[in-house]
Every structure is written in C-alpha cells, then in structure tokens.
Amino acid sequence: MSGLSDAKRNLRERSEGALRRAVLSEIGRGQPGTVEPYRPKGDRFWRVFFVPVYRRIPWAAKERAMSALGMTAKGWKPPERKPGEPWRPPPELAAKAPAAQLGEKPRARSGADQAS
C-alpha cells in the first residue's frame, strides 16, 4: 500500500474509533454498572476537538469531503433517498404489487393458474 492510502486508513480508523467511544460513553452514562470506555493514548484531540466538530457539520458537507479525499466506496450506485427519509420499494417492485399498497389481500391462486 502507498503512504497516502495508509494515512487515509489510519485517519478513518482513528475517527471512527473516537466517534464510537463518544457514543458508547453517552449511552452508558447514568446506567448502573457501566464504566467509561478505554481511552487510548493520543485520544485528546479526537475526543475534545474532532467529535464535537464532526457532529456540527451537516451530512452533505461530510459526504463532499469524503468524496474529495477518495474515502468512499467505488463501483456502486448511492441510494436514491437521503438519511431520515422513509424507505420505499423501488419503482419496478411497487408497480408489481398494487394490491399490497391498497391494503387488499392477495387472491388465492386456483389450480388452473398454477398449471400455467
């Protein structure tokens, strides 16, 4: 691997770890029998600066930055819906199942229908 890809991987691992530890400490706060997650050495920057700043940046800006740095997956189509938008079946599947959308029960198939 090149030095640049090693640096990107290290950045991603450190940022994901800091965000994960922040969430775990928030979830466990106030719960009986929980302890603070382990903090590795050199974690202060990530905990004090990165996590609060990351949470304030809108998702669209994060997406643009990750794309510009080449830190996104390649070769797949991104989802058509945005975060927070409810799931809907793809148009080709929705067209095939109009009865299910109207709340109607599907008809039972007769023996003649099954033979063909």
Please tell me the distance from the alpha carbon of residue 53 to that of residue 91, in angstroms, as a whole number: 38
Rounded to 5°, angle at Cα 59 from 1 and 55: 90
Contact (Cβ atoms closer than 8 angstroms) between residue 39 and residue 47: yes
Q: Give the pTM.
A: 0.56
The alpha carbons of the chain give a radius of gyration, in whole angstroms, of: 24
Give the model's pLDDT for residue 108. Answer: 56
pLDDT tens digits along 15-53: 899 999 888 888 888 778 777 777 788 888 988 899 999
Question: Both tokens of residue 105?
Answer: 């029960």
| Least confident residue range of 29-38, 61-70, 99-108 | 99-108
Please identify which residue in the block is written with the tokens 């922040």. Answer: 22
Please tell me the distance from the alpha carbon of residue 9 to that of residue 88, in angstroms, as a whole number: 34
